[in-house]
Structure 1
Amino acid sequence: MDNPIILVQAASKAWSGAPDWCMNEIDGRSVVALTIENALKEFPEADIRIIAPEFDRGGRLNELPELFPESKVNVFYGFDESPLERMIAAVEDAADEKLVLRVDGIHFGWLTDHARTMLQLAEQENLDCVKTEDDFPIQLTSDVYRISALKKALAMLEEKASSAPYRVHPKFFMFSEAEEFKCARIENPTVNEQWLKKCRETAEQVYIAGNMNVGQNAGIAAGDQLSFHYELALDHITPDAQVLDCGCGPGYGARMLADTAEKVVAADLDIETVRLASSGKYFDNITFQTADATALDFEDESFDAVTSFETVEHVNPVPFFKEMQRVLKPGGLLILSTPQNSHGHIPVNSQHLHEFSLQEIKGLCSDHFEIMQTTGIKQGRIVFPDDPKGQNTFMVCRKAS
């Protein structure tokens, strides 16, 4: 296992259509280059294949092999909307029973020694797929696949409707088909706090403005989790609802809500963000304004529902939940999402003050609300019914009547 095939998934655009953070630079080198460097420290003889969408052909990713002239680094392009097909095409020269490692290009801090352990387990137990627990910090992860299993998954998905999300994240299809694939989630490794702190420090140059600008660029729906939050929320919004979208960002979600709700107030702390959001398509039932999620200017019991997606991890959660409860009418709904992280006391994403384990976020919510629904979003748009563990937590909470 000293010379594995390592597939590094990279692109210039994220699923939302915004610029992908993996192409940001740290001291003159792209994030994906750091991810490759990390791989070569553990596996100096690795066969590294950067798998990129066809739309990136001829772009900056072409420069990456030149940065590693002593190593085997190549770029494969193809299949804009299907990383699964991209993976298979990139290893067409390898035997079906060979194992491959896959890592996201932005995961510069991935635990390569843990990846070696996963490879060894897959080899010893003849596994088709190995991954960490779903709530392990996503930035530290990699996955192991058997090539024959990737091909089998694609063949099965050809016969299924709505297969696009699984073509983005095939590991979850394999786990959902336990009779067809032999898979294992292995115990989350112990993570040195100094490594988490180092990754967080590095991430200050990675997680910068751009990735969250959903709605301004043409995205690929199968992997767009940010819009998915609003789609889930719409199941709980009625035509007569007065809704606060707290942390509205560029306003794409407020416009989705306004197609159903009677009125939407779209609020964000940053005035430039609010100006940008308000400059989009006009809706006569949306009002845009600045607001602090921990000290709102609205009167008590002003709203039937509050949506707040990817916000609570940026602020002090205690005043946040007090304010959400205060501005909601009796029986009103708080609908929120936040990263789920078993090691969230030191989040790698430097924009986040804290990321919450499932137990933590449920405890905070239950201090003020009745929890009606807890969904673990595995990755992208993938959920397993009645399974609250995931990379992201989506919750629907009700204020007492």
Structure 2
Amino acid sequence: MPGIAEENYWFRRHEVAYLDLLGHCEDAVVLEAGCGEGYGAQLIRQRARRVVALDYDEFTAAHVGRAYPELDVLRGNLASLPLRDAGVDVVANLQVIEHLWDQEGFLAECFRVLRPGGRLIVTTPNRLTFSPGLDKPLNPFHTRELAPSELDSLLVEAGFRVELLAGLRHGPRLEALLGGRIIEAQVEVAVSGAPWPDELLEAVVSVTCADFEITTRDLDTSLDLVSVAVRP
């Protein structure tokens, strides 16, 4: 959520991916499949010709329609997208696929609604660093997290050509902030229910998009995966 001090680290970590991928949305008809609060779809709208913001949750869809009137808001299931075949130029799916039970079915739907040459943008936590060594995701709301090779295989098997597979990482300032423990420190507070220490809250509030980088180097140690795939 934007505008919440304690969530600023995670908000910026998501926002930077939107900003990095805006060039693919220039003058395009874009579907954001799983739009959540709607701030990302609104960012895309600055460059796109039209943005359809879709979410399954009724309350969420109603909020997006009120908060961002420039968007076309739909409520629908990602397993059966309520759009015609080959009707959009770009499908954006940021930090959503890890929540889906049928990832293969969702990607088949993305392939269906994209025009030939259209792009699918997916970001998702890297399983190797987000839930290291675990048989199931650490986050109870995730159904299946993906390693870089697994995301690549899913996209290829769905018929896409992978144009970019990159990773999001901390930049130098974040690597040094709180001794490099900014994620762990937030998790410890969340698990314990203790009040936020002033030093931690100050550090979290200070985070900006410039504190992250997206690169193709050493994908297995990245925090989030960032992919762009093309429908042939």
Question: Which of 333, 336, 343 is the aligned partner of 2:122?
Answer: 336
Deviations 1:160-185 (A, max 9, x none): xxxxxxxxxxxxxxxxxxxxxxxxxx
Amino acid at match of 2:64: A
- Of the structure 1 ranges 267-276 and 380-389, higher mean CA displacement relative to structure 2 is found in 380-389
Matches of 1:220 and 1:313 in 2, distance apart? 20
Structure-1 residue corresponding to 2:104: 318
* Superposition deviation, residue 398 in structure 1: 0.1
Matches of 1:327 and 1:350 in 2, distance apart? 30
Structure-2 residue corresponding to 1:362: 152
Aligned sequence identity (%): 26
Equivalences for residues 146-295 of structure 1 within 5 A? 219=8, 224-239=12-27, 241-283=28-70, 286-295=71-80
Where is the helix percentage greater, Structure 1 or Structure 2? 2
Query: Are the equivalent residues in 2 in contact too, given 1:344–1:354 (CA < 8 A)?
Result: no
Indicate how the Cα distance of structure 1 residues 341 and 308 shifts in structure 2: closer, same or farther if over 3 A, else same.
same
Aligned length: 185
* Superposition deviation, residue 359 in structure 1: 1.1
The answer on 1:18 being equivalent to 2:4 is yes
Does the residue aligned with 1:330 lie in a helix, a strand or coil? strand
Query: Are the equivalent residues in 1 in contact too, given 2:37–2:60 (CA < 8 A)?
Result: yes
**Residue ranges of structure 1 left out of the alignment (5+ in a row):** 1-13, 21-210, 212-218
**Residue ranges of structure 2 left out of the alignment (5+ in a row):** 171-210
Matches of 1:378 and 1:253 in 2, distance apart? 20
> What is the TM-score with the length of structure 1 in the denominator?
0.44
Does the residue aligned with 2:67 lie in a helix, a strand or coil? coil
Amino acid at match of 2:105: P
* Superposition deviation, residue 388 in structure 1: 2.7
Query: CA RMSD for the aligned pairs?
Result: 2.1
The answer on 1:376 being equivalent to 2:207 is no
Structure-2 residue corresponding to 1:396: 228
* Superposition deviation, residue 295 in structure 1: 1.1
Question: Which of 295, 304, 316 is the aligned partner of 2:89?
Answer: 304
Does the residue aligned with 1:279 lie in a helix, a strand or coil? helix
* Superposition deviation, residue 294 in structure 1: 1.3
Does the residue aligned with 1:264 lie in a helix, a strand or coil? strand
* Superposition deviation, residue 361 in structure 1: 0.8
Does the residue aligned with 1:224 lie in a helix, a strand or coil? helix
Deviations 1:301-325 (A, max 9, x none): 1100000011111112110110111
Question: Which of 134, 142, 160 is the aligned partner of 1:352?
Answer: 142
Matches of 2:150 and 2:134 in 1, distance apart? 10
Query: Are the equivalent residues in 2 in contact too, given 1:344–1:356 (CA < 8 A)?
Result: no
Deviations 1:183-228 (A, max 9, x none): xxxxxxxxxxxxxxxxxxxxxxxxxxxx5xxxxxxx479x711111
* Superposition deviation, residue 333 in structure 1: 0.1
* Superposition deviation, residue 383 in structure 1: 2.9
Query: Are the equivalent residues in 2 in contact too, given 1:375–1:394 (CA < 8 A)?
Result: yes
Matches of 2:73 and 2:16 in 1, distance apart? 22
Return the index of the structure with the highest Cα Rg.
Answer: 1
Matches of 2:5 and 2:103 in 1, distance apart? 29
Matches of 1:384 and 1:327 in 2, distance apart? 29
Deviations 1:322-371 (A, max 9, x none): 01111100010000101111246400100000111111111101112000
Amino acid at match of 1:297: P
Question: Which gives a bigger RCO, structure 1 or 2 (Cα 8 Å, sep 6+)?
Answer: 2
Does the residue aligned with 2:52 lie in a helix, a strand or coil? strand
